[in-house]
Amino acid sequence: MIRNITIGQYYVADSVIHRLDPRVKVTGTLLYIVSLFLFHNFWGYVVAVGCFFAVMVLSKVPFSYIVRGLKPIFFMLVFTAVLNLFWTPGTVFFRFGAIQLTWEGLRKSVFMAFRLIFLVLGSSLMTLTTTPNQLTDALEKLLRPLRHLHVPVHEIAMMMSIALRFIPILVEETDRIMKAQMARGADFESGSVLQRLRNMLPILVPLFVSAIRRANDLALAMDARCYHGGDGRTKMHPLRYQGRDFAAYFICIAYCVLLYSAVTYLPML
C-alpha cells in the first residue's frame, strides 16, 4: 500500500515546470491550495481547474500518473462528501424516510470534493516535478528567516532529506520482515481489525530496532564526513533564481487576480 503514494515520487521528464526553481513551485502550490478554500463560486473552480490542467500539460506528467495520488484519500473523500450531502440543512429536494438531501448539501459536498481532489492533485504535481532534495533545499531557504526565532531550520531540512532517503529502504525492510514472519506462520490478512493490528506488532518491533541501528550508523558516517551542523556549509547545487522563475511568480500573481475577478465579477453560480 505504501508504494501507491505518489507524494515523494519524482516523475522524470524535461519540462519547464521541472526546471523551475523549487521555491517557486512550493510557494505556488501553497498559494494554489489556499486559494481553493477562499471561494464558494462555480467560476472560481473553472479558473482553478483550468489552471491546474494548463500546468499539468506544461509539466508533461501524464494525468493517469497524478491521479494515482488520489487513491489513499479516496475513502476520506467519499466520507466528507456523504457527510456534507446528508447533514447540510436547506431546501430539501429528495426525502426517503429519515434521509433527506438538500440542494445546499449537494452543492457543498461537490465543492468540498473538488477542493480535496485538487488539493491532492496540485501538491502531487509539485512533488512529481520536484526531486525530494530540491524540495528540502527550497524549504530550508524559504524557512530561513525562522532561524531568528531559534527554529533549527537546517536540521529540519536535513532530517527530511534523510527520511526521504530511508523511506524506500525501510519499506523494503518491512516487506522482508513480513515475509520472514509469514514464513513462520504469521497471518496478516485475516481476523478483525484489532486482531490484524495486534499481528503487526512482530513487524514493528524489529523494524524499529533496525531503524535505530541504521540511525546510529548514519550519524557515525556523517560525523566521519565532517558534518557539524549548518554553519559554514556550502552547497553543491545552490538555488539561484532565473528569468523563468520570476515569470512564474508573475503568473502566480496573475492567477490570483484572475481568480479574484472571476469570483467577484461573474454571476454567482
Partner 1 sequence: MKEQAKKYIIEAENLAHEYARRDENGDVTEIVRALDGVDVQIREGSFVAVLGANGSGKSTFAKHLNRLLFPTEGTLYIDGMDTADSENTLAIRQTAGMVFQNPDNQIIANIVEEDVGFGLENVGVPTDEILLRVEESLKETGMYSYRRHSPNHLSGGQKQRVAIAGVMAMRPKCIILDEATAMLDPVGRKSVLDTIKRLNQKEHITVVLITHYMEEVTQADYVYVMKQGTVACSGTPGEVFQNVGTLKECRLEAPQITQIVQELCRAGVSITNEIYSVERLAEELLRLKSGFKG
Element (H, E) at 96: strand 92-96
Of the two residues 162 and 251, which places its CB atom closer to partner 1 in the complex? 162
CB 230: neighbour CB atoms within 10 A?
Answer: 15
Stretch that binds partner 1, among 86-94, 121-129, 143-151, 232-240 (CB under 8 A): 232-240
Angle at 65 between CA 59 and CA 161, to 5 degrees: 75
Site membership for partner 1, residue 168 (CB under 8 A): yes
Task: Indicate the burial class of 154 (C-beta count within 10 angstroms; 0-12, 13-18, 19 or more).
Answer: middle
Locate cell 445546499: which residue?
A: 104
x-marked contacts with partner 1 along 116-155 as a string, rule CB under 8 A: ---------------xxx----------------------
Site membership for partner 1, residue 165 (CB under 8 A): yes
How far is the CA of 167 from the CAs of 160, 163, 191, 201, 248, in angstroms? 10, 6, 28, 19, 31
Stretch that binds partner 1, among 13-21, 71-79, 192-200, 230-238 (CB under 8 A): 230-238
CB of 166 to partner 1, least distance (A): 8
How far is the CA of 155 from the CAs of 31, 136, 263, in angstroms? 26, 11, 42
Among 30, 110, 113, 164, binds partner 1 (CB under 8 A): 164
- Cell of residue 250, nine digits: 508573475
DSSP state of 2: G
How far is the CA of 8 from the CAs of 135, 167, 232, in angstroms? 9, 10, 29
Stretch that binds partner 1, among 70-78, 90-98, 224-232, 247-255 (CB under 8 A): 224-232
Sign of CA dihedral 140, 142, 145, 146: negative
CB of 213 to partner 1, least distance (A): 8
Among 182, 209, 218, 253, binds partner 1 (CB under 8 A): 218
Site membership for partner 1, residue 225 (CB under 8 A): yes
Among 64, 201, 228, 265, binds partner 1 (CB under 8 A): 228
Among 2, 38, 169, 182, binds partner 1 (CB under 8 A): 169
CB of 265 to partner 1, least distance (A): 46
Q: Which residues bind partner 1 (CB under 8 A)?
A: 131-133, 161-162, 164-165, 168-169, 214, 217-218, 220-228, 232-238
